[in-house]
Every structure is written in structure tokens, then in C-alpha cells.
Amino acid sequence: MKNLTLYTIGSLLCFASCSKWLDKEPIGILTQEQVQVDPTEGTVVTGIDNAYRPLSYTLNLFGEWDWTGGLVIRPDFLLEDIAAGDATKKWTPDGDQAWMDDVANYNFTAENGAFAGIWKFNYEGISRCNMAIFQLTDPETVAKINMAEAKRTQLLAEASFLRAFFYFDLVKYFGDVPMVLQPLRDFNEAYEVAVKTPKAAVYEQIKADLQEAINGFPNAKYTNQSERWRASKGAAIALLAKVALFEGNWKEVVTQINTLDQLGFYDLNTNYFDAFDDTKTYIEKENIFIYDHEPGMQPIRGNGFTALMGWGFMAPSTNFLAAFESGDPRRTYTVNTNDQAIYKLLGAQNANYKGNDNSPVNRIYIRYADVVLWRAEALIKDNQVSAGVALINKVRERARAGNNSVLPDRNTSITDANLAMQWLQHERRVELGLESHRLSDLRRWNIAETTLIAMGKPFLKRHMLYPIPQTEVDKTVGKIAQNDGYNN
């Protein structure tokens, strides 16, 4: 069986009318022959390990310096932090990589590599997950590999979690997207899935995958003690809470976070920077889901974003720096403007990894401070304003690190939910700054337009979603419809 992704689908559907695409190998194909001619336990495990890789900041996973195709590195920092005005492309403005400037300036076109890149990273991950899920549930394959049931269940949980993660990313950026849940074998199957699925239905599948993952993971902080980077029960519960947050299901957010807390695995670190400190990986207690970069591996598995920063990429905006209250220690931990170093992305309070194209600095996707603020937001939205503000104060207390002259507590006696939300929005910006959350926050709060226009960005209603990559529309002869407002 061949595992076809949307790029394969595009080639199949445009055979007659789009022959210009046929000389291009569709990015995202993962055939069974490439993964395993004769499946074994080892090759199945390798396939799942490879399903994590599209989450990495490793350079050139799917292309060789294909900047304009959005394939040099996973472009979420561009779609979240730079698009939201918290960051600029470079410390010194120049004409390098003008397609990045187009995203920053809201000159969105469906041909821009930022959108094609994130689409390809996520659907490549989904393709790999689909192959793994098929192998772990197909009776013939399961019998052949003869894997211990506990291990099979755990690996199935990992693949289910990752597929949910990739689909959540796609829905967040594009809204309705095609939903592929199994390896595709022929033209008829490809034709059936080459159409956008309503966002609500994709969310239901995401939640089903996460429940499968929760049921399959061991009740432990680490799924595998020797490979602590793997997804876990805590990560699946946290992502389920985040999905509820984006759906506006406030009580479900609180329910899932209560379940997460009952595990007893996570808390705020005493020191803010410990979550980012490369020397404290798996020692600190805040990180829930990360991509574990490792240097010196073959195939390469290090962090290449640190190399981009060595070339001057990724600088904080003046507007972002001004958002910090006077004396907030998080500003210093986040960025050193004199050394032009974003510490939390460099994994140390120095620039030692700056310019390193294979560094060990991990990519943090979910940490407990984020979760605390999800709960705070849900409580405020559910008219439990005082309880929500108390959680904001918990985050501020950790941030001030015993210096009571800065970051005073917010007033927990207020009943004004709008004011409490303003406090929450501020706290998320400075606590989670430059961690690739900002634009999605602005969009789901329905303040993207007012906030970004005030910053001088020409934000329009259509910018609430990104355009579907034009290559995907073209390759499917329009069967994958373009998002509203982006038709040529």
C-alpha cells in the first residue's frame, strides 16, 4: 500500500489538465516502500520517530535551502510572532527574504511560501502518522510484527496525539482543511478526500485522536524513561484543554486542566528561565511537550533556528518590548537587545548557540504557565472573574521572583470581566512572548483587527485565516477551495 498525501492527490487529480506539475515530486509523499519493505517492530518505531520531525526546527527537512517555498525551517515563528508585530524579520532591516516581509506587512498572497511551508510540514506529519496508525491497527501487520501489546498501545497513542497536533495547527491557521485519516491507495480515494472538511468536524476528529492517546498512554510523566521527549498523557490532556479553549468551551477547559493537575507532574518552575535553559531539560517541572533537538545525530536532529538568529533573523519589535511593565524580569530573560540575542530561543542567558545550525536547544510547544493562563481565561469567560485573576497573579508572582516592588498583584475583587481579560491578554503576551502563540491569541480573542491596525498593519477581515497555498488549489483543479478573500 502506498501512503499518499495531499501532494500526491494533487498530482493525481491534475494529470489531464495540469501536466506542468508532473515533473515535480510532491512534497509529503511517504510510501510504504520508503519506510519499510517488510515491516518489523523496528521500522514501525522508526516511522513514528520520523512523525515527530516536522515539529522540529531542524534545517532543510523537506528541501535544500528552499527559502521561498517556506521549507528551510518550520515557519510558525513567522506566522505567529512576526505577523502579530511582536517580532521583526531581522535586527537590521534589509531586502533579504522579501516573502517574510510580505507576511509581516499583511501582503498575503496564496503563493507565499510561509503558508505553503506550514501546510507541507503539517501534512507531512499527518502522512507519517496515518501510516503508523494503519500499521498498528491492521490485523495482518500487527500479527507480522508481533509487538508487545503495551508497546503497540503506547505507539498508537503517540501517533494519535501527533496527528491531532498537526490537524489542530492546520485548523488554527486555515479553518476548514482536507482531512486524511488513512494511507491512500488509488485515484478514487484521493479524489474523495481532496476537499475541505468543515472545521467543526476536524475538531471532533482531533478530540477523538486525543482521547485515543489519553487512553493509550501510561499514567506517567514520561512515556519512555530513556526517551523523555516522546508525547505523553499529560501532553494529550493539555492539548485537549487547548482545543476546548479555541472552541470556547470554558467549562471543558477547566475540567481537562483539573485532570492534568491530578496527575501531579507539572507546576510553575520557581525560576522563570528554567523552562528554556538547555542545561535543565527534564530537570525542570514546567514543560509538558517539547521537540527534543540533539546535535551530532544522523540524520541531523539539531535546532537550526539558532543559525538563523546568527544571520540576524528574528528580532523583538519596539512595540513588544514596550509591553513589559517597568522592572518585569521577564524582559531581560526574553531578550538582550545589546547582544541582539533572544535568550529564551537560544536556550541560555548568553549567545553561545547563536549561529549554530545544529544546536541542542529544544522547541517548547506546551508549558504549564500557558496552561495556567488557559484556566484563568476560561474562568473569566465563565464569570468566575476573581478566580481567574488569582491565577494571573500566580504567574506574576513567579515572574517577580520575590521582588515585591515590581509586578504588583491584580485586584481579585473586581467583577469587570472585560478589565480582567485585558489583564489576561497582557500577561499572555509578556509571559509567552516570542513562543509562537501571539497571532492565534489575537484572532481567537477577536481583537486582531483593532490591535494590528493600531500598530500600523493593514489587517482586513480575510486575514482571520491564512490563504490555502495556491499550489494545492491548482493541483486539485480547484477541488480544494481557496479561503474567502484570496481568490485571484
pLDDT at 214: 98
What is the DSSP code (8-state) at residue 450?
H
The answer for residues whose C-beta is within 8 angstroms of residue 315's C-beta and 6 or more apart is 87, 88, 89, 90, 91, 340, 342
What's the CA angle centered on 151, arms 145 and 152, to 5 degrees?
A: 55
CA R_g for the chain: 22
Lowest-confidence segment of 28-42, 88-102, 262-276 by average pLDDT = 28-42
pLDDT band at 27 (very low <50, low <70, confident <90, very high): very low
What's the CA gap between 395 and 410, in Å, rounded?
A: 11
Helix axes 368-381, 250-263, angle to 10 degrees: 140
What's the CA gap between 131 and 472, in Å, rounded?
A: 22
Evaluate if residue 442 carries a pLDDT over 70.
yes
pLDDT at 487: 87
pLDDT at 488: 66
The answer for residues whose C-beta is within 8 angstroms of residue 48's C-beta and 6 or more apart is 128, 132, 155, 158, 159, 162
Q: Please name each of the domains of the chain with its CATH number.
A: 1-216+456-482 (1.25.40.390), 223-445 (1.25.40.390)
pLDDT band at 8 (very low <50, low <70, confident <90, very high): very low
Number of neighbours of residue 21 by Cβ within 10 angstroms = 17
| Long-range contacts formed by 436-441: CB under 8 A, 24+ apart | 436/76, 436/77, 436/79, 436/80, 436/81, 437/80, 437/370, 438/80, 438/81, 438/84, 438/86, 439/79, 439/80, 439/81, 439/83, 439/84, 440/80, 440/172, 440/173
If phi over 0 gives left and psi between -120 and 50 gives alpha, with beta otherwise, what is residue 407?
Answer: left
For strand 363-367 and strand 87-90, is the pairing parallel, antiparallel, or unpaired?
Answer: unpaired
What's the predicted TM-score (pTM) here? 0.94
Residues pairing with 366 in the sheet:
289
Evaluate if residue 29 carries a pLDDT over 70.
no
Comparing 28 with 167, the larger pLDDT belongs to 167
**What percent of the chain has pLDDT above 70?**
92
From the list 347, 49, 374, the residue with the least C-alpha distance to 223 is: 49
Evaluate if residue 171 carries a pLDDT over 80.
yes
Lowest-confidence segment of 10-19, 262-271, 327-336, 454-463 by average pLDDT = 10-19
From the list 121, 57, 103, 69, the residue with the least C-alpha distance to 309 is: 57
Number of neighbours of residue 293 by Cβ within 10 angstroms = 26
Q: Could you report the per-residue pLDDT of 251-305, keeping only the tens digit for each?
A: 999 999 999 999 999 999 999 999 999 999 999 999 999 999 999 999 999 999 9
pLDDT band at 17 (very low <50, low <70, confident <90, very high): very low
pLDDT at 459: 98
The answer for residues whose C-beta is within 8 angstroms of residue 404's C-beta and 6 or more apart is none
What's the CA gap between 86 and 76, in Å, rounded?
A: 13
Q: What is the DSSP string of 361-392?
A: PPEEEEEHHHHHHHHHHHHHHTT-HHHHHHHH
Reduced to 3 states (helix: H, G, I; strand: E, B; else coil), residue 207 is helix
